[in-house]
A and B are shown apart, each in its own frame.
Chain A
Amino acid sequence: MVSIRKLQALSTIENGLIRLGIAGLFLFETIRTIVLPPYSLKPLIKQIAFIGARSMLVIIVAGLFVGMVIALQFYDTLLRFGSISLLGSAVGLSLIRELGPVITALMVIGRSGSAMCAEIGIMRVDNQIDALECMAIDPYRYLFAPRILASVICVPLLTAIFILVGIFGGYFVGVILFGVSPGSYFQGMSDTILNRDILMSFSKSIVFGLLIAWIACDKGFNLHLDKRGAYGSEGVSRITTEAVVISSMAILFSDYLLSALIL
């Protein structure tokens, strides 16, 4: 019995590695079509509108409340140490280095990643991807290149908006509600935040943007490789759930990895 279990475990690992390889080839093929001509702008703009523009409101609201709550928490904590003047830098640093990129990415997964995965999964189930192939239209160039590129462009921009709104959310709580001096709020920020912090935020959000669209598109496109049988609507719902879980995990994991590398 033990040997059978071992074998099963080995085959699970083997299948996992094969699947990872397929996802890697998928990304390689998509990046190749992004880099090589012909380029088409229209699908890219459509995806930027979907992933970026239409996520703005969600990101602004989330940024506002996250900024407000961390200002509240830091105010209470810093008060105990008698260092209220550090409020600005504490809010700014935590938003720029961690909360901005991570929460933006998680919001984009929930809003756009899941939709992307379900859309492409349904296209696979409905033979629309086969139809594209039969019309000699490269699905990598037509479907995935614009999505992945748009995500890499939009997530950093959304992150920037999130951070900006968050800083003003913190300003509202710290300065307007609790009476911290506005000068010390902003001066503290500009004294402590380094270029390296911004760079870290930027590189994180680029990686997150790539991960979100890659995982969502690959999961949808390779729906038929799933050996657990359910193709059709159950298959779509399962891969969408998986895409959301895996990309959230990938973001938290790569967040630690990138922080450790850059710090």
Chain B
Amino acid sequence: MNDPDKNNIIEIEGLNSWYGDRQILSNISLNVVRKEIMVIMGHSGSGKSTLLRHMIGLDKSKSGSIKLLDKEITNLNRKELHELRKRIGVAFQNGALFSSMSLQDNVELPLREHTKLDQNTIRIMSRLKLELMNLSDSESLMPAELSGGMLKRAGLARAVIMDPEVLFFDEPSAGLDPVTSAELDNLILQLRDALNMTIVVVTHDLDSAFKIADRITVLDDGHQIITGNKDMIRNFPDPRIVNMLERKAMDDMIDADDYLNKLTRD
């Protein structure tokens, strides 16, 4: 455990990603250590969700290396990727629950598919997680009957049902009121402290990021501006970060020719 490399749960080296001709990520390098909460921040379209999709192998890039739990995720075949994914949990922005199943069935699905536990044990385990997420009264509801915050918590319950080593959470506070969003932040902290998870959170919410993060990575237009702890971020002189912290829009100097070109292009 003293070997620092052993503590790296995720290691990304020189990751580039393109969508058609547009480059979404350029030369991203970062590592996430065990039991850390790493928050990836950036405004909409900065490539933070794409970075998350690369980390869990949903998107693949030909350029760069991503090691997740010591496996080079870019060269895994389907089967190896599935084995690796049994050790991680992913909570999607909108919960991504299956609309044809009740909340409880949704949460129990990974256990049913991957374990040979009997029905009673599965039920107890799912109730434990639903209780943790404050959803125990709603277990028989269908996803369509849940509110946005409940959907996110249900997605989180499903993501952690297998007690994963790493949890990925996409936009926990998007579309939620501040109180519900603060509850989710507390849940994330609890998961790390109680269940020893390493957690990667993608968000654009400053308050939430500074509340839960051990370290923060800031992306802008696919470029990694900085990765560091909260103080480093607060004191970083880059104007993009200063503006972000002060919630100011970037006031780019407008070039008259450029502007005219933009308006008149086909």
On A, residues with C-beta under 8 Å from B are 122-123, 126-128, 130-131, 133-138, 142
Whether B82 lies near A131 (C-beta < 8 A) is: no
Chain B stretch 90-128: residues in CB contact (< 8 A) with chain A: 90, 92-94, 96-99, 109-110, 113-114
Q: Which bucket holds chain B's interface residue count? A: 20 to 34
CB distance from B52 to the nearest CB of A (A): 11
Instruction: Write out the residue numbers on chain A whose beta carbons fall within 8 Å of the beta carbon of B93.
Output: 127
Whether A133 lies near B58 (C-beta < 8 A) is: yes
Q: A130 with B96: in contact, given A135-B85, A136-B82 (CB under 8 Å)?
A: yes
Q: A134 with B109: in contact, given A127-B96, A128-B96, A128-B98 (CB under 8 Å)?
A: no
Whether A126 lies near B96 (C-beta < 8 A) is: yes
Whether A136 lies near B85 (C-beta < 8 A) is: yes
CB distance from B170 to the nearest CB of A (A): 9
The contact of A135 among B53, B99, B109, by CB within 8 Å, is B109
- A5 to B187 CA separation, bound complex (whole angstroms): 58
Instruction: Write out the residue numbers on chain B whose beta carbons fall within 8 Å of the beta carbon of A142.
Output: 113
The contact of B56 among A122, A126, A134, by CB within 8 Å, is A134
Q: Which residue of A lies closest to B89 (CB)?
A: A134
Instruction: Write out the residue numbers on chain A whose beta carbons fall within 8 Å of the beta carbon of B90.
Output: 130-131, 134-135
Instruction: Write out the residue numbers on chain A whose beta carbons fall within 8 Å of the beta carbon of B97.
Output: 128
- Give 12 pairs: A residue, B residue, CB < 8 Å, sorted on A: A126-B94, A127-B94, A130-B53, A130-B92, A131-B90, A131-B155, A134-B56, A136-B86, A136-B110, A136-B114, A137-B110, A138-B82
B258 part of interface (Cβ distance < 8 Å): no
CB distance from B135 to the nearest CB of A (A): 17
Q: How many A-B residue pairs have CB under 8 A?
A: 51
- A133 to B89 CA separation, bound complex (whole angstroms): 11
Q: Which of A123, A127, A131 has the most CB of B within 10 A?
A: A131
B37 part of interface (Cβ distance < 8 Å): no
- A131 to B155 CA separation, bound complex (whole angstroms): 9
Instruction: Write out the residue numbers on chain B whose beta carbons fall within 8 Å of the beta carbon of A137.
Output: 109-110, 113
Mask, B68-90, CB within 8 Å of A = 1, is: 00000000001000110110111
Instruction: Write out the residue numbers on chain B whose beta carbons fall within 8 Å of the beta carbon of A130.
Output: 53, 58, 90, 92, 96
- A142 to B112 CA separation, bound complex (whole angstroms): 12
CB distance from B15 to the nearest CB of A (A): 19
CB distance from B106 to the nearest CB of A (A): 9
CB distance from B159 to the nearest CB of A (A): 8
CB distance from B43 to the nearest CB of A (A): 21
Whether A131 lies near B85 (C-beta < 8 A) is: no
Instruction: Write out the residue numbers on chain A whose beta carbons fall within 8 Å of the beta carbon of B114.
Output: 136
Mask, B30-72, CB within 8 Å of A = 1, is: 0000000000000000000000010010100000000000000
- A133 to B159 CA separation, bound complex (whole angstroms): 12
Q: Which residue of B lies closest to A38 (CB)?
A: B113
Instruction: Write out the residue numbers on chain B whose beta carbons fall within 8 Å of the beta carbon of A127.
Output: 92-94, 96
CB distance from B203 to the nearest CB of A (A): 17
CB distance from A130 to the nearest CB of B (A): 5
Whether B83 lies near A136 (C-beta < 8 A) is: yes
Instruction: Write out the residue numbers on chain B whose beta carbons fall within 8 Å of the beta carbon of A138.
Output: 78, 82
- A136 to B78 CA separation, bound complex (whole angstroms): 10
Q: Which of A122, A133, A134, A142 has the most CB of B within 10 A?
A: A134
CB distance from A56 to the nearest CB of B (A): 22
Whether B85 lies near A134 (C-beta < 8 A) is: yes
CB distance from A248 to the nearest CB of B (A): 27
Instruction: Write out the residue numbers on chain B whose beta carbons fall within 8 Å of the beta carbon of A133.
Output: 58, 85
- A102 to B155 CA separation, bound complex (whole angstroms): 43
Mask, B247-265, CB within 8 Å of A = 1, is: 0000000000000000000
